[in-house]
Amino acid sequence: MSQASLSLKSLNSFAINAKAQEIVTLTDLAQLEQFTKTLPKQFYILGGGSNSLFINDYQGTIICPDFKGIKLTETSDSYLLDVASGEDWHELVQYCLNNNIAGLENLALIPGNCGAAPIQNIGAYGIEFADVCDYVKWFDFTTGKVQVLSKQDCQFAYRNSIFKGALKNKGLVIAIGIKLNKKWQPLLNYAGLNELGNTPTPKQVFEQVVAIRQAKLPDPKQLPNAGSFFKNPVVNAALFENIKQQYPQLISYPLANGDIKLAAGWLIQECGLKGKTIGGAAVHKLQALVLVNVDNASGEDVIALAKFVQRSVFKKFGVNLEPEVRLIANCGEVLLENL
């Protein structure tokens, strides 16, 4: 269950060669209950490692939940899935399609484990995890008990949830509940998907999403990265109009509250940063939203590049980019502006 002083290189998709004092892998509830009786003072919960950047060696314990299992039931109008947190998200999407269950295809090829889905409220092509969430099974470190949190309890927002706020480091996700309507309707509002016509099959949507993502996003196994490094920024209508007047090609998505979501990748690209390198880190040549490890980058290389990108976009557009990737220093998670 526990190993000491191991490299984290194989456990994070950036392939940063940082170390931790201890790595603990948990595969069942009994192990989790026993482990939390003497919970380390400093720890970080690491799932698939696809959304974490280790800036330097971590002076604490890395906890890797590796619970497995998918349970499928159904009602007259819905499919209900109970999915252990250690299951791979993309494999879950494929499992659904193989069982003629639609509703997750827009979320295909998102890297990482299912336990991270509610924490980050993952999303793509018009769908977020919150849209399909039924519940989250949460192990509370203080009580040593499993709680079932409703969608409302999770306080989902854009790439955010209660698990990054009030419940941060208070426990861990052991399973997620997903509810998918049997009366499936495709969501095709995004570029690329709207080319499919009005009646595509779920498999056709899935294949199109995979093709789009593979064309734009590098495979972490070939070129280490953590996918989209920055969140798409949300601005008010006044700032949007000001930018739009100067840059008519600005890519944007109106929100229900009147704010506007901008495409962070487009902003970075317009700053001329595709291919920009600092140390062993680079802005990807095809998708500017992705920072990549091209030459044994250190975590500090990636941070230096991220800060350069952030400053460049703010100087040109007056828009502040916030990382989507979680930044882990030796003492724990930190904010980019504090580095």
Confidence of residue 189 (pLDDT cuts 50, 70, 90): confident
Model-wide pTM > 0.85: yes
What's the average model confidence in pLDDT over 180-192? 90
For residue 187, report the phi and psi dihedrals to the nearest 5 degrees: -105, 115
> pLDDT at position 6, please?
86
Q: Are strands 290-293 and 326-329 parallel, antiparallel or unpaired?
A: unpaired
Give the Cα separation of 172 and 32 in Å (integer): 10
> pLDDT at position 196, please?
87
Closest CA to 40 of 21, 19, 16: 21
> pLDDT at position 216, please?
83
> pLDDT at position 256, please?
87
- Residues 47-92 pLDDT 10s: 989 999 999 999 999 999 999 999 999 999 999 999 999 999 999 9
CB count, 10 Å around CB of 226? 26
- Residues 21-56 pLDDT 10s: 999 999 999 999 999 999 999 999 999 899 999 999
> pLDDT at position 4, please?
52
Cite the active site residues.
159, 228, 324
How many percent of the chain have pLDDT more than 90? 91
- Residues 6 or more apart whose Cβ sits within 8 Å of residue 121: 128, 129, 130, 156, 157, 158, 159, 160, 161
For residue 57, report the phi and psi dihedrals to the nearest 5 degrees: -60, 140
What sign for the dihedral angle of Cα 140, 143, 146, 147? negative
